[in-house]
């Protein structure tokens, strides 16, 4: 993945179109509830402004189904971005068309323009060539800083690179470096932690990680399927009955390839799926019929933390339990603290995993928090992401 980065080209005085991922969460009143994704693009924008470039920003927001929808306008994002940059951000209520063209044409160096939601046009997700050409017509250089959509061959991600020189922005560069290293040149001991709700969401990743890691730690709802696959009764736990054979073959694969596959030996069970449920710790061979496993147990947490302690590279995706409820958050907290304390390069991806990291308050001790859940999983699966492949080679 030797891709051309922003610093590899001359952008001074040029008009630069930056694909960003401003798909931010909004509340009922259209207020931005988390501006992390906007903040994440500031280094690229500020660098371009320092180079005297004129910056045209393009993004999607939500799922407007290919037609203009007022609840998905990027106008509030333009306002927030202006506050963060400390300078005016122009906004135009279309992304292609004569108004956008005129606005981009008159944009001067040092100025920033945000275009309206790309997904107001069905052509964006269809990777329509004419639409990509029109977008490209707004600028002289293309920068992809939207890792979160780079697993999608959309017009603003893939098609546009056929018309303009295409490089990776700073955020994209960081994602490529950290995740690329985990895929192609990992430091050892390499420990991966995979959790979350379901095995089926993350089979591809587990399969590929088994070829790379020294230790694979499994937790969360998906661990129940592995517990059941070993022949234990899991009561009313979330379990994927159609994935038992798959879990057994993954256990075999780990054995054959000499990977240490760590599965829970004890769990926290509850009598119902609720914050105020009765809860107790049991060994995996003693899960009561009417109860459900909602977290890994303390003995398991200890083993997992010890394995993480010796790691040089850690990749984490998926919480160890229903961390949204305090009674079932201890396993995730223990793992979060162990990842934070390890003398390792640590990479965390996945919306819920990041929320868990933030709940524990150890963000600052994580080397890289990925901005793309789905995109980071696909990279870890060993897939080539169309948005990254489309960036010019060095
Ligand atoms: P991420 O967003 O980090 O990729 P996932 O979306 O795959 O993670 O999974 C997170 C969800 O899994 C959380 O909502 C959590 O409550 C749920 N979960 C974790 N452990 C269990 C469990 N034992 N039973 C049911 N749900 C679980
Ligand atoms: Mg999730």
Please write the tens of the pLDDT for every residue from 78-109.
999 999 999 999 999 999 999 999 999 999 99
Cis bond upstream, residue 189 (ω within 30): yes
Which DSSP symbol is given to 3? B
Closest ligand 1 atom to residue 324 Cα is 16
Residue 219 lies in a domain: yes
Mean pLDDT score across all residues of the chain? 96
Q: What percent of the chain has pLDDT over 70?
A: 100
For residue 199, the model assigns a pLDDT of 87
Tell me how many domains the chain contains.
2
* Active-site pick, 19, 37, 134, 152: 37
**pLDDT confidence of 1, banded at 50, 70, 90?**
low
Q: Say how many C-beta atoms besides its own lie within 10 A of residue 331's C-beta.
A: 28
Q: Are residues 270 and 375 both part of a single domain? A: yes
Active site residue 37: yes
Q: What is the CATH number of the domain that holds 355?
A: 3.40.50.1260
| Ligand 1 pocket, residue 35 CB under 6 Å | no
Which DSSP symbol is given to 61? -
pTM of the model as a whole: 0.91
Ligand 1 center to 369 CA (angstroms): 18
User: Please, are residues 9 and 47 in contact by the beta-carbon 8 Å criterion?
Assistant: no
User: Please, are residues 335 and 316 in contact by the beta-carbon 8 Å criterion?
Assistant: yes
| Ligand 1 pocket, residue 319 CB under 6 Å | yes
Q: Are residues 156 and 36 both part of a single domain? A: yes
Average pLDDT on 257-265 reads: 97
**Cα 323 from Cα 305, distance rounded (Å):** 17
Active site residue 152: no
Residue 105 lies in a domain: yes
Active site residue 198: yes
For residue 230, the model assigns a pLDDT of 97
User: Please, are residues 78 and 116 in contact by the beta-carbon 8 Å criterion?
Assistant: no
Q: Are residues 268 and 167 both part of a single domain? A: no
Residue of 273, 171, 259, 282 lying closest to 207 (CA atoms): 259
Q: Are residues 162 and 259 both part of a single domain? A: no
Q: Are residues 126 and 252 both part of a single domain? A: no
Ligand 2 center to 286 CA (angstroms): 29
User: Please, are residues 191 and 343 in contact by the beta-carbon 8 Å criterion?
Assistant: no
| Ligand 1 pocket, residue 372 CB under 6 Å | no
Per residue in 283-310, pLDDT tens? 999 999 999 999 999 999 999 999 999 9
| Ligand 1 pocket, residue 324 CB under 6 Å | yes
Residue of 56, 58, 57, 62 lying closest to 23 (CA atoms): 62
Which residues neighbour 67 within 8 Å (Cβ) at sequence distance 6 or greater?
120, 122
Write out the residue range of the structural domain in which residue 233 sits: 186-380
Active site residue 219: no
Ligand 1 center to 170 CA (angstroms): 30
Q: What percent of the chain has pLDDT over 90?
A: 94
Residue 354 lies in a domain: yes
Residue of 100, 123, 124 lying closest to 113 (CA atoms): 100
For residue 161, give the 3-state DSSP assignment. helix
Ligand 1 center to 352 CA (angstroms): 7
| Ligand 1 pocket, residue 353 CB under 6 Å | yes
Q: Are residues 142 and 289 both part of a single domain? A: no
Beta strands 89-92 and 266-270: pairing type? unpaired
Residue 386 lies in a domain: no
Given a cut of 90, whether residue 131 has pLDDT beyond it is: yes
Q: Are residues 345 and 227 both part of a single domain? A: yes
Which DSSP symbol is given to 159? G
Closest ligand 1 atom to residue 354 Cα is 3
Domain boundary among 122, 148, 172: 172
């Amino acid at each position: 993945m030797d891709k051309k980065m922003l610093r590899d080209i001359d952008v001074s005085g040029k008009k630069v179109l930056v694909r960003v991922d401003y798909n931010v969460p909004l509340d009922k009143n259209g207020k931005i509830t988390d501006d992390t994704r906007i903040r994440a693009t500031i280094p690229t924008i500020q660098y371009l402004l320092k180079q005297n470039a004129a910056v045209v920003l393009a993004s999607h927001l939500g799922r407007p189904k290919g037609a203009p929808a007022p609840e998905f306008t990027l106008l509030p994002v333009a306002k927030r971005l202006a506050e963060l940059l400390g300078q005016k951000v122009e906004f135009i209520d279309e992304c292609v068309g004569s108004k956008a063209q005129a606005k981009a044409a008159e944009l001067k160096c040092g100025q920033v323009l945000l275009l309206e939601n790309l997904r107001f046009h069905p052509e964006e997700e269809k990777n329509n060539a004419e639409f990509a050409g029109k977008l490209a017509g707004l600028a002289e250089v293309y920068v992809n800083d939207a890792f979160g959509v780079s697993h999608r061959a959309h017009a603003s991600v893939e098609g546009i690179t056929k018309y303009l020189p295409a490089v990776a922005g700073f955020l994209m560069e960081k994602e490529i470096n950290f995740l690329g290293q985990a895929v192609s040149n990992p430091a050892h001991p390499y420990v991966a932690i995979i959790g979350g709700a379901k095995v089926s969401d993350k089979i591809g990743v587990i399969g590929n990680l088994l070829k790379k890691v020294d230790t694979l730690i499994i937790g969360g709802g998906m661990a129940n399927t592995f517990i059941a696959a070993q022949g234990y009764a899991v009561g009313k736990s979330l379990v994927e009955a159609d994935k038992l054979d798959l879990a057994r073959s993954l256990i075999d694969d780990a054995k054959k390839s000499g990977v240490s596959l760590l599965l829970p030996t004890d769990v926290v069970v509850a009598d119902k799926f609720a914050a105020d449920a009765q809860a107790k710790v049991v060994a995996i061979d003693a899960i009561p019929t009417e109860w459900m496993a909602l977290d890994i147990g303390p003995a398991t947490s200890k083993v997992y933390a010890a394995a993480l302690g010796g790691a040089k590279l850690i990749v984490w995706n998926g919480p160890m339990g229903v961390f949204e409820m305090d009674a079932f958050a201890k396993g995730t907290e223990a793992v979060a603290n162990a990842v934070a304390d390890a003398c390792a390069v640590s990479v965390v991806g996945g919306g819920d995993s990041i929320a868990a990291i933030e709940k524990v308050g150890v963000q600052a001790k994580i080397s890289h928090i990925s901005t793309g859940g789905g995109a980071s999983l696909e990279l870890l699966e060993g897939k080539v992401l169309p948005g990254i492949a489309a960036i010019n080679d060095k």
